[in-house]
Amino acid sequence: MAPPTSEQITPRQAKAPKQDSTPSFRMHLRQATRIDHDRSELAFAAFHRDPAQHLDWFLACQLSALEALSATCPPERMHSAALLQELIAALYQDCEARNQTVVALPQSAQPALTGLAVDYLVLGSRLGTEVLRRRLTQQVPHSPLPLYFSQRDHGPIWKDTCAALDKVATNSSTAKSIVEDSKAGFRLFHDAATCNQMVHAS
């Protein structure tokens, strides 16, 4: 049988195909880790209130967290491996220039994480850093920013990471692992904030 002509198509036949309303895994991941993300952000509340005043402490915390994160996954399994090492190197220079002591997280606090979870954390934190960079520029317009806040082109690897996450089936074991590993990664940032606060508290 030949397909119907335009004159023969009824309104029922012309109805648009039903759209899949299931959220992508990337959206699911964001929702599933919201509490963990917010808890991590709360640990840096003092810095968010006054970035310039607590900048040295923030840099030390970021170095603690990112070093711990880099130890959780082989670089060949990450999209963000080169960026991660670049950020760690910048933070070392920043902390050294500021005579800032950095507390390393214990090895026992560094679980084995999947590459996409590490990518999600590294690149997600980098997107937040862009907002912080603008705030610091407004607060201390005549002071050079630390190297950590230098603008970096992470767009291509963020795009690759998003594409990889969107291919993950939300109900799969892979999805469950990425969610749990992302939560563990957020805990590393929270622990870094706590450890460095304890050392530098007056």
The number of angstroms, rounded, from the C-alpha of 7 to the middle of its chain's C-alpha atoms is 53
Reduced to 3 states, what is the DSSP secondary structure of residue 31? helix
pLDDT < 70: residue spans in the chain: 1-22, 108-109, 197-202
Could you report the per-residue pLDDT of 113-144, keeping only the tens digit for each?
999 999 999 999 888 888 888 888 888 888 89
CA distance 158 to 164: 10
Q: What is the DSSP letter of 14?
A: T
**pLDDT at residue 141 in the model:** 81
One-character DSSP codes across 108-121: GG-----HHHHHHH
Tell me the torsion sign for CA atoms 83, 186, 31, 20: positive
**pLDDT at residue 130 in the model:** 84
**pLDDT at residue 202 in the model:** 39
Lookup: tokens for 90:
């910048």
One-character DSSP codes across 61-108: HHHHHHHHHHTTS-GGG-SSHHHHHHHHHHHHHHHHHTT---PPPPGG
The answer to whether 116 and 75 are in contact (CB under 8 A) is no
